[in-house]
Every structure is written in structure tokens, then in C-alpha cells.
Amino acid sequence: MHIIKEKGQAMVEFALVLPILLLLLCGICEFGFIFSNQILANNACREAVRYAAVHYKEDGLINVEQQANLIAENYSSNFKVLVTIPQTEEIQIDLTANVQLLTPFFTFLDDGNGYVQLTSQCTMRIE
């Protein structure tokens, strides 16, 4: 009976599985990072619209918009705020953020520039 030596088998199998494992690990990290930034954007938008709703009548639109931008920038420097006053007694804030991807593997998520655009919108009655 002839015995076949299999010394390099584990190394070949590992080389075949390693790219899949790395892609899976990078995907988990990328998704977690984007999800974390979306939660930050939602919280910044909520806090900015709350400030704007409470202080709109005493400060005016220009000061409220500046303060809302400062609140959003405290969360992250890439958050930009747009304050809108519809015809009703409500104030609306649209927040946009460009978040840079951590890994180059998921370029299908972005517009080809390495950034994913996140948006958040909040509306609250003016007090």
C-alpha cells in the first residue's frame, strides 16, 4: 500500500479561505462604522431641531441655523445642517454627512469618491 503525503494541504485550504474571511471581517467593520455614523447623524439632527424649535422665536432663523450647525459639528465635523421653516408652525432640519469608507473593498457603496452620504431629517413644532 502506498501512502500519499499531504503536508501542504492545510496551507492551500487556508489560502483559499483567507480572502473570504477577510472580506467578511472588513464588511462587518464597515457596516458597523457606517451604522454608528448614521446613529450619530440621527442624534445630532434631533438635538439641533430641538434647539431650533425652542429658540426660534427669540433668536431668529440665522442664529438658530448657526447654532444648529455648531451642535451638529460637535458630533462630527462632516455633518452639515439645513434649517427649513415650512408654512406651518414647525421647523425642519435636514442633516447630511459624507462619511469616508474604512476599506477599499466596498466601493460599490459610494459614488466613486470613497465617501458614503448619510442623511437624517427631523421635524418639530416651534414652541
pLDDT for 5-45, tens place per residue? 777 888 899 999 999 999 899 889 989 999 998 998 898 88
For the chain, the domains span 9-125
pLDDT for 65-100, tens place per residue? 888 888 888 887 788 888 887 667 888 888 888 888
Burial class (CB in 10 A: 0-12, 13-18, 19+), 108: exposed
Note the pTM of the prediction, 2 decimals.
0.79
49 close to 68: Cβ distance less than 8 angstroms: yes
Residue 109 pLDDT greater than 70, yes or no: no
Secondary structure class of 9 (helix, strand, coil): helix
Euclidean distance between CA atoms 73 and 99, whole angstroms: 13
Q: What is the DSSP code string of 74-110?
A: HH-TTEEEEEE--SSSEEEEEEEEEEE-SSGGGGGGS
